[in-house]
Amino acid sequence: MEKLKIEVAGIEFKNPIVIASGPAGFGDEFFKYVSPSTIGGFTTKTVTPQPKDGNPPPRLVYTKGGLLNSIGLQNPGVDTFVREVAPNLPKETVRIISIGGESVQDFLEVGQKVEEFADMIEINLSCPNVREGGTISSNEKLSSEILFACSYSLSKPLIAKLSPDGDILKQAEVALKNGIKIVNVGNSLQGAKFNINDGKPFLKRVVGGLSGPALLPITLWKVYQVKAMFPQLEIIGLGGVNNPKDVLECAIAGASLVSMGTHAMIDPEGIDDFILKTEKLLEERKVSFKELVGCSHRGGYR
């Protein structure tokens, strides 16, 4: 597995495959199917200061080749999380804890409480399913303040999870200016679906987050742009990855880590094989993952 190794922000990843926040929950069920020693990193479902029931059903809508979700950040709240979940996160993989909230205070509170259990902390600025008036990332001032406060107060490497719906370069710039060195590009894309039998939206909040393979070209272009403009940022490529080939494409576009949400959720048993196949693709091409990172900006690797 030499060809898959990569270091990001001083943390060793045995491979670049990171399970995304949400679809795999807090890991309790997920790790019944997947050995933590096979995956590069695991991101927990987002944790907020208070427990959240999440949105009333339906929370899912099937779309052609995709999935629309409106979970609404259901989670037990940081205190229960820290007591019952966090200590059990497997140490055989890089533990990324995703933190959420509404205000600077919220993020600081959660960040400080979870920090000791995390190898990295992901700041979720881009959930499409909770706030009225858009994601946090669509509010430049608020996201600046949150990122600045977290950079100042937390000592674990921080990831800012950006939104594919806003201006990705602006968001990356805001992250960089506020001390963030790793950005996750990105969350699910905002979408909706309507019931033709009654003329109403399927989801009560109308909007949901679209995930699935079709997002991949969109993700790749965003990763490419961010890498072109801010080569000093480390990027997590996320959105639509569903095939070992996609992992290589993300690296080529500029991602140092590659994350998967929906695909890991629908086929947890297949992840082992997925990682082996990724390695095989690299071996066949006699190139390491690290060498691929951002190589399209240098005229390719061959």
Partner 1 sequence: MEADVKAMKYSSRKEYFLLSFEYDEKDKVEPGQFFRLKTPTGPYIARPYSVYDFEDGVLTFLIKSGGEFEEHLKTSKKIIFDGPLGNAIPSLDNPLLIAGGVGYAPLHFYAKRNKSHLIVGSKDEELFNLVDIPPASVYTVEPTTALDVAKHSPTTNIIACGPIKMLSRAKEMFRDRNLFLILEEKMACGRGMCEGCAVMTSDGVKFVCKDGPTFSAKEVNLNWRN
Ligand X SMILES: Cc1cc2nc3c(=O)[nH]c(=O)nc-3n(C[C@H](O)[C@H](O)[C@H](O)COP(=O)(O)O)c2cc1C
Binding-site partner at residue 21 among partner 1, ligand FAD, ligand X, none, CB < 5 to 8 Å by type: ligand X
Contact (Cβ atoms closer than 8 angstroms) between residue 233 and residue 257? no
Q: What is the distance between the alpha carbons of residues 37 and 250, in angstroms, rounded to a whole number?
A: 23
Query: Under the criterion CB under 8 A, does residue 217 sit at the interface with partner 1?
Result: no
CB-nearer residue toward a second copy: 87 or 231: 231
Contact flags string 45-64 toward ligand FAD, x per CB under 6 A: -----------------x--
The yes or no reply on residue 67 touching partner 1 (CB under 8 A) is yes
Q: Find the binder of ligand FAD among 109, 119, 234, 249 (CB under 6 A).
A: 249
Q: Does 194 bind a second copy (CB under 8 A)?
A: yes
Task: Establish if 89 lies at the interface with partner 1 (CB under 8 A).
Answer: no
Does residue number 201 form part of the binding site for a second copy (CB under 8 A)? yes
User: Which of 124, 101, 135 has its CA nearest to residue 208?
Assistant: 135
Q: How far is the CB of 300 from ligand X (least distance, A)?
A: 26
CB distance 3 to 277 below 8 Å: no
241 binds, among a second copy, ligand X, partner 1, none (CB under 5 to 8 A by kind): ligand X
The answer, yes or no, to whether the previous bond of 186 is cis (omega within 30 of 0) is: yes
Among 5, 9, 11, 54, binds partner 1 (CB under 8 A): 54
Number of CB atoms found within 10 A of residue 35's CB:
12
Q: How many residues bind ligand X (CB under 6 A)?
A: 28
Nearest to 223 by CA among 139, 289, 160, 164: 164
For this structure, is 127 an active site residue? Answer: yes
**Under the criterion CB under 6 A, does residue 278 sit at the interface with ligand X?**
no
Q: Which residues contact 200 (CB under 8 A, 6 or more apart)?
A: 194
Q: What are the structure tokens assigned to 79, written together?
A: 């205190």
Number of residue whose CB is nearest ligand FAD: 196
User: With contact defined as beta carbons under 8 Å apart, do 200 and 194 qualify?
Assistant: yes
Q: Are 26 and 85 in contact (CB under 8 A)?
A: yes
The angle that helices 168-177 and 140-153 make with each other, rounded to 10 degrees, is: 40
Tokens for 53?
A: 């029931």
302 binds a second copy (CB under 8 A): yes
Residue 288 lies near ligand X (rule: CB under 6 A) = no
Size of the site for a second copy (CB under 8 A): 49
Instruction: Report the phi/psi class of residue 144: left, alpha or beta, with left for phi > 0 and alpha for psi in -120 to 50.
Output: alpha
State whether the Cα torsion 264-266-269-272 is positive or negative.
negative
Contact residue for ligand X among 15, 46, 55, 171 (CB under 6 A): 46
Residue 132 engages a second copy in binding (rule: CB under 8 A) = no
The burial class, CB within 10 Å (0-12 / 13-18 / 19+), for 77 is middle
Enzyme catalytic residues: 127
Footprint on this chain of ligand FAD (rule: CB under 6 A): 62, 194-197, 245, 249
Q: Residues in the site for ligand X, rule: CB under 6 A?
A: 20-23, 45-46, 67, 69, 71, 73, 98, 124, 127, 161, 187-188, 209, 211-212, 215, 238-241, 260-263
Chain positions contacting partner 1, by CB under 8 A: 22-25, 29-30, 32-33, 45, 53-54, 56-62, 64-67, 69, 71, 74, 212-213, 262, 265-266
